[in-house]
Structure 1
Amino acid sequence: MTGTPSSPADQLTADIQTARQKLIRRAGSTAGKLWHQAGLVKRRRSGTGPAGRDHVRSDKRSLGSSSGRSGWLSWVLLPVRHRFLRYSLLLVLTAAAAGILWLLRDLPSPTKLTSGDNFAVSTQIFDRHGTLLFEIFADQNRIPIELQDLPPHVLQATIAIEDRRFYRHFGFDIIGISRALRNNLGGGQNLEGGSTITQQLVKNALLTSERSVQRKIKEAILSVMTEAIYSKDDILEMYLNYISYGGTAVGVEAAAQRYFDKPARDLTVAEAALLAGLPQAPSRYSPFASDPTAAKIRQRQVLRRMVEDGYLTGTEAETARAELLEYALTQNDIKAPHFVFYVRDLLIDEFGLETVEKGGLRVTTTLDLELNNAAQASLSAQLDNLVRHRVSNGAALITKPDTGEVLAMVGSKDYFDSANDGQVNVTLAERQPGSSIKPLMYATAFQQKVFNPGSVLLDIPTCFEITAQPEYCPRNYDGNFRGPVSIRQALANSFNIPAVKVLSILGLRNFITQANQMGITSWEDPDNYGLSLTLGGGEVRMIDLAQAFGVLANQGVLVPINPILKIEDFRGNTIVEFDPQERRAELEILTQFHQDESEGMSRRVMDRAPAYLTSHIMQDNTARQLAFGPRSELVIEDQIVSAKTGTTNDLKDNWTIGFTPEFLVATWVGNNDGTPMNQSLVSGVTGAAPIWNDIISMVLAGREPVWQEKPRDVASAEVCAHGFPPRGGDDCQTRYTELYWQESHPSAGQIERRTAWIKVTTGQPPQPDESQDDLVLEEHLFYDDPVSGSYCLDCRPDPPPEE
């Protein structure tokens, strides 16, 4: 009956049978001949007729009496004439057999060498162009490689120094052991080991490191079995993948990268000779040891052996000895560390820690290392200029909104600066966004069809009553008030009072729900927030904010952030693969055909028009000149870019985020410990904005300007300076064109001409708590603000009396 062994004992029995059969087939094998001879004796004794009797007689003469005994036992006991001695020898043989069986009871199977049960392989993380960023492993860094991918001199150097009779023995080498014993007892300068490559493989992969006779016997038995099961090339390949070369480097591929920062296939003869000499005593022969000359001496010994065995000529060996070796720098063997550990955590969440540390994943990421390094350099250089503003740290993130790919992630000024918590990845940390959150709130207001870019609100002193709390009276960043302003002006110049008014009308729950759909993950219970949420009162993560702004860039479609292109196992089998072209196709379908969902991960979370109108305001340099001037850091030469700054009231966080349909850049500056920055950063254009400008200019350099296609349901109309359409008889000499969503209302408030009492000193209707003196009855154009009440659009206060 054929089947898989049901227990370790059955597996071991099967392995022994396999080894026995292979040994029998090997001509010239002593063990094979003995098994064969035993079989012949048995057949002879079972013969019949004259020939059978002759064989029996011959057997008796040559092997002794056959009555009640097997052939091999008779052969063993033939020379013994005394019964006592016979039984004594039988007892010794029985005890020896029992001892061997006792040793075999827990002997591991050589098939484990290829089963993967004890073959921990490092996970490698690469950038999008194949540059190795980092290797993840538990305690050993192993990178498997096939024998065919190694140059011949790597194999030759290993065989020459470790086991020159490798292809001529069957697991252990009596001649090699004798030679090593003779040389060592003779007081040679370089001690030799008698273990073969097969024995070293078995010892390192299947057995413990204890030093005992029992382990050596197990090692010998397993070596013979291993040689019977695997070919010589298989054993050599496994050895080169299992053996330690010092530190965490296990296997020749990991060793080549650790010591020479190159793959093993590119090793020179000199480099291969140095690595081949390490396994015998890695700490002694390491070039990074306290005495690096020992490594050179060991290398020369390997080269001499290669000449003796005919692998090299004397001239070739001399050239290798003279080669100046360039060792890898080992102190910082990680590139883009914040991004690497972000990806590592995602892998652990998906596959588990053991698989990530030992499963040998090959992860190709979306990161562009060259771009990441450039962003890191820009951030560090700009932060040096901000020291006088009490700024010690910063962060930057570059993504592709249409695919969700992360091109660069710089989590701090210097990852290795522990004094300033450089290991903290600020792109993943929750920080207050300041006014940079306002575009999401206004986009939500447009989505609710109550406001349009031309809708007017009053930027005047306003207080909001909050149940069981003091009145909330927001102020603008510069302390000024500007009267009636359009939504376009309010967002472009980051006026606070209109933003709070919009949120009070919109409702916190509606805003938070929409923000969650756009990718903000840190806002949960609306009861935990107030109207200051629109001014940055709720903490967000930069990576979430980038995803939410990506919805605006994608005209309402959420494309999830994705840092990984492909995951393979170490044998090259694909586990997960991400195709950016498919993601773009999804976006095209959702955008052009007005679908809400695709077969992939992307989905529509906002109508096209609200996203487009918000993005249009953010790229309107004319609209924001009141606060930022005509040539601010938000202007990118020859490009169309939507951008927004943000600074918290306590000056602890300063942001700039901007995008095109193809790229998004987010930057932040501040202090990890929450220390406030100088007041000079309050405008938002002297902190994060210069860094943002430098990075996005670099990203867009040489590219043609790209902007969103205007949705069909976005129209334009002529409006007056006060933001309302022209009316018959109205004084509307100053007009401009404004965009609006055809499905929404033209304005949040109402405008009408009527007669009312006007206070001469203010030019406005008196407030309930104001004096009723100095009033005149006049006809004017009034706007009824949904929060602040009536406001005269064409009234002018009397000038103050001259002194």
Structure 2
Amino acid sequence: MKFLKGMVIAGVVMLVLGLTTVVGLYFYVKPDLPSVETLRDVHLQTPMQVYSKDGQLISQFGEKRRIPVKLEDIPQNLRDAIIATEDSRFYEHFGVDPIGVARAFGNLLVTGHISQGASTITMQLARNFFLSFDQVWMRKIKEAFIAVHIEQLLTKDEILTLYLNKIAFGNRAYGVGAAAQVYYGKPLKDLTLAQLATIAGLPKAPSTLNPIADPAASKARRRVVLLRMLDEKKITRAEFDEAAAAPVTARYHGAEVTMSAPYLAEMVRQAMVDKFGEDEAYSGGYKVYTTVDSHDQAAAQQAVWTNLHDYDERHGYRGPVATLWGPEEQPWSQQAINQYLAKQKAYGAVMPAVVVAVAQQTATVQLPQNQEITLNWRGMRWARPYINEDRQGPAPETASDILHPGEQIYLRQVAGADGTAQWRLAQIPEPSSALVSLHPNDGAVAAVVGGYSFSLSQYNRAIQAERQVGSNIKPLLYSAAFDNGFTLATLVNDAPINQWNPGSGIAWRPKNSPDVYEGPIRLRKALAKSKNVVSVRLIRAIGVDVVADRIADFGIPRERVPENESLSLGSISMTPMEVARAYTAIANGGHLIDPYFIDRVEDAEGNIVVQTQPSFACTACVADDAPYERPLKQAPQVISEQTAFLVAQAMKSTVWGGGSWAHKTGWNGTAWRIQRSDPITDKAGREIMGKTGTTNDVKDTWFSGFVSGLVTTTWVGFDDVSRQLGRTTMNSNLDRSEQAITGSEAGAKTALPGWILYMEEAVQHVETNAIPVPPGVVSVRIDLTSGKLSRRNDYTSRFEFFKAGTQPTEYADSGEDTVIYDEQGSLF
């Protein structure tokens, strides 16, 4: 009895000492304990995601990948696996598991070192949110006290939900939702028991036990998880056997990007960092919805790729990327080739390949992942040797004139005549290109492409490349002319200019391109045929300062506008975005909109934190009685509606030309190739306006054009501003339908085809109507030769538009002299 009494007293003393120690430790560490109240309103670090207008994921930014999921959306097998492996008494303890602690302490006494953990799921949650991972006793004590506080604050299900969404699973995946995506590319609900068990085994050592870093270790850990589930009677023996024997199927999956728009994604990233700061932007869980439709963006990207490849092919083949073995060397094995190709990157529309064998007019080519294809003659016959931008070698006759075994090349897929995908020899294009498409009513970006491949160059030519615009400046110049006494019917002398400059001792001789002159020409026709000397005479008549001020009205800083006559030929440098913005003012009735590409930003809970409020060109939209909850902002009017209409009319002739082909007076504008595009021209009521642009040395080529609902600018040129785009001759292997473009490159040949390719798709997704005749504009029949009124109703006349009060008052047969303007004034 004395012994038992002593044992009881000792036990009581130890209990009191233990409780006193615990209480003392609590008050000792209490000042350092964080408030767990924050867990009630916790914001998990979630990456920023960028979406298209129609909900396609464009990109994801942030070091930590996390896809928060609700507990009811987490498969029961995964919950059971986590609990069985990490904390089998989770639903029974109060945050600290005394049995687990006792077991771990006993193991420490027996072995002399810590080999078993006693951390519960709640303690792990406390460590992940509030503490470091240092292996020190004080941290473990704090962890236990915080865990008890958490259990008092949250329910078990709330704790489990936070834990499953917080902890690391390796490869930058945080939370079970991200783990499922990173390792299997699927949502949790689609994973097998074996895959769920693999994920459940990761929290112990996510960097070393993950199935990508060490498949064998991961499989062994998976078996441990499955055994614990079997012990806890969460699965049957049959389920265990099947899952334990399953192969390791994990591989790395990036974010579920469903739309490629890397230049746009980078524009969004920079805008978000500027607004929220880098840390908040990358981890705040923002969802950014852009103005870009995925169909339009895909069409824009494909148009840029196809147009650049077409340019590159007509200038010749520059040869293989590398030679892996020569004619006298042992060919590589299929495995060696596959290993080599696995290290090579695909860029834009091209993928790496290796030539294995060459026949008379075919070649056997190996693609990545051991895929072998036959490249036929049609896919390579374009490849005459490249000499320089202006010269190409003879057309090849056999495949061996082009390819040799052992060469690493690039291939791309194109649509064949029967609509099926066909392989084609390719190369990474040397020139660059950009495309910008805007909705003219409010400035929303419909599509934007900043180059051939973001992987090759992050330089966004759409918004960063200031290049000389050439004749793309002329619609802006003509708008000033129409406000200063000129009309669409005004005759200007299209004749050579030879002006002596005493200061330089040379004569400035601006030339037309082509170098053809027609004498007196109406301004409608002069703009449509892009007559350079007419533009020079206009700027002389109006004044350089007046034209410079007008160009500044279109959104270009005045200090960037050169004040000399070369301005009339496009010596000013602008970005494609600036050019497209300027043209929207012509398309929307004279209003200068502000381009924007972010529609709204939502936080992690779906609340809208940023909503772009654009200015509208639509006058009816901003009226006090407009059918909206509140009047919208009005974009400023920079040119009159009447002036915009007249410029658009001249640009319409750039596409359709004029005259009568039956009477041999027909003529084409510089953008006549659009006429051949049925998808663009076949919609009733659709009007198409455009303007080509080429610098004198063909270093920059442009086409900007619009329908009523969409304005698009394309640019093509070399990043190296010293290089010219050159010229080509006909390839004898190709018929005219396969090589419709030869001779000198120009806006109509180099940039316009890309615009057509894009607009053929984009116009199908936008409402386009005829541009209405604005108030204050009248239409009268004029004589095509003199620009005067006409009494005739035949091919010698047409109806022309004028601002009211500027229409001619004399008839062509009145006997009065015709007024023709040239640099010396009016000639009679």
TM-score (norm 1): 0.74
349, 354, 357: which one aligns with 2:282: 357
759, 762, 765: which one aligns with 1:696: 759
1:408 and 2:447 are equivalent in the alignment: yes
Contact 1:633 1:685 in 2 (8 A): no
Shift of 1:327: 4.0
- Secondary structure, counterpart of 1:476 in structure 2: coil
Structure 1 residues 377 and 726, CA gap change in structure 2 (3 angstroms): closer
Q: Hey, what does 2:125 align to over in structure 1? A: 201
> C-alpha deviations, 1:367-402, integer Å up to 9, x for none?
223432333223223312212445522222333223
Distance in 2, Cα, partners of 1:292 & 1:704: 54
Structure 1 residues 360 and 527, CA gap change in structure 2 (3 angstroms): closer
572, 582, 591: which one aligns with 1:557: 591
Q: Hey, what does 1:215 align to over in structure 2? A: 139
RMSD across aligned positions (CA): 4.1
669, 683, 691: which one aligns with 1:644: 691
Contact 1:529 1:538 in 2 (8 A): no
Shift of 1:165: 1.4
> C-alpha deviations, 1:650-705, integer Å up to 9, x for none?
22211112211122332221112222211444432221111111111122359886
1:543 and 2:577 are equivalent in the alignment: yes
Q: Hey, what does 1:383 align to over in structure 2? A: 308
294, 298, 314: which one aligns with 1:373: 298
Alignment map for 1:348-747 (pairs within 5 Å): 348-387=273-312, 388-389=314-315, 390=389, 391-417=430-456, 421=457, 423-446=459-482, 448-462=483-497, 472-518=508-554, 520-521=555-556, 523-525=557-559, 528-577=562-611, 588=621, 599-600=632-633, 602-620=635-653, 621-623=655-657, 626=667, 628=669, 631-633=672-674, 635-637=676-678, 638-639=681-682, 640-674=687-721, 675-679=723-727, 680-701=743-764, 706-726=769-789, 734-744=796-806
Contact 1:751 1:781 in 2 (8 A): no
148, 151, 154: which one aligns with 1:230: 154
- Secondary structure, counterpart of 2:49 in structure 1: strand
- Secondary structure, counterpart of 1:124 in structure 2: strand
Q: Hey, what does 1:241 align to over in structure 2? A: 165
- Secondary structure, counterpart of 2:673 in structure 1: coil
> C-alpha deviations, 1:594-647, integer Å up to 9, x for none?
xxx963253433222211222222122443774657952465323432121111
1:296 and 2:337 are equivalent in the alignment: no
Structure 1 residues 439 and 257, CA gap change in structure 2 (3 angstroms): farther
Distance in 2, Cα, partners of 1:687 & 1:283: 51
Shift of 1:208: 1.7
Shift of 1:468: 6.5
Distance in 1, Cα, partners of 2:187 & 2:588: 42
Alignment map for 1:317-328 (pairs within 5 Å): 317-318=240-241, 320=243, 322=246, 325=249, 327=251
Distance in 2, Cα, partners of 1:244 & 1:501: 71
Letter in 1 for 2:559: D
Shift of 1:358: 2.3
- Which one has the bigger helix percentage? 1
Q: Compare CA radii of gyration and give the structure with the larger one.
A: 1
Shift of 1:590: 7.1
Letter in 1 for 2:596: N
Structure 1 residues 79 and 567, CA gap change in structure 2 (3 angstroms): closer
Q: Hey, what does 1:120 align to over in structure 2? A: 45
Letter in 1 for 2:301: Q
Which segment is superposed worse, 484-493 or 270-279?
270-279
Contact 1:512 1:526 in 2 (8 A): no
Shift of 1:338: 0.5
> C-alpha deviations, 1:410-452, integer Å up to 9, x for none?
21111112xxx35534344322222122112212332x25222
Letter in 2 for 1:737: F
Alignment map for 1:241-280 (pairs within 5 Å): 241-264=165-188, 266-280=190-204
Shift of 1:154: 3.3
Structure 1 residues 588 and 467, CA gap change in structure 2 (3 angstroms): farther
Contact 1:587 1:602 in 2 (8 A): no
Distance in 1, Cα, partners of 2:9 & 2:586: 91
Give the % identical residues.
Answer: 31
Distance in 2, Cα, partners of 1:97 & 1:178: 19
Structure 1 residues 511 and 179, CA gap change in structure 2 (3 angstroms): farther
Structure 1 residues 133 and 722, CA gap change in structure 2 (3 angstroms): same
Alignment map for 1:744-763 (pairs within 5 Å): 744=806
Contact 1:477 1:682 in 2 (8 A): no
Distance in 2, Cα, partners of 1:210 & 1:454: 84
Distance in 1, Cα, partners of 2:674 & 2:451: 22
Q: Hey, what does 1:31 align to over in structure 2? A: none
- Secondary structure, counterpart of 1:282 in structure 2: coil
Shift of 1:264: 4.1
Q: Hey, what does 1:14 align to over in structure 2? A: none
Shift of 1:206: 0.6
Structure 1 residues 317 and 609, CA gap change in structure 2 (3 angstroms): farther
Distance in 2, Cα, partners of 1:269 & 1:195: 25
Shift of 1:220: 1.4
Q: Hey, what does 1:142 align to over in structure 2? A: 66
Contact 1:753 1:782 in 2 (8 A): no
TM-score (norm 2): 0.72
Shift of 1:342: 0.8
Structure 1 residues 328 and 78, CA gap change in structure 2 (3 angstroms): closer
Count how many residue pairs are aligned between Structure 1 and Structure 2. 666
Distance in 1, Cα, partners of 2:187 & 2:618: 37
Structure 1 residues 142 and 692, CA gap change in structure 2 (3 angstroms): same
- Secondary structure, counterpart of 1:397 in structure 2: strand
Contact 2:436 2:714 in 1 (8 A): yes
Shift of 1:515: 3.6
Distance in 2, Cα, partners of 1:710 & 1:238: 63
Alignment map for 1:171-190 (pairs within 5 Å): 171-177=95-101
Shift of 1:494: 0.9
- Secondary structure, counterpart of 2:79 in structure 1: helix
Structure 1 residues 202 and 618, CA gap change in structure 2 (3 angstroms): same
Shift of 1:492: 0.5
- Secondary structure, counterpart of 2:208 in structure 1: helix
Letter in 2 for 1:554: N
- Secondary structure, counterpart of 1:135 in structure 2: strand
Letter in 1 for 2:609: I
Letter in 1 for 2:130: L
Shift of 1:300: 3.5
Distance in 1, Cα, partners of 2:455 & 2:669: 36
Contact 1:590 1:604 in 2 (8 A): no
Distance in 2, Cα, partners of 1:548 & 1:684: 18
Distance in 2, Cα, partners of 1:614 & 1:494: 13
> C-alpha deviations, 1:95-135, integer Å up to 9, x for none?
9876654433322222233455x843321111122222222
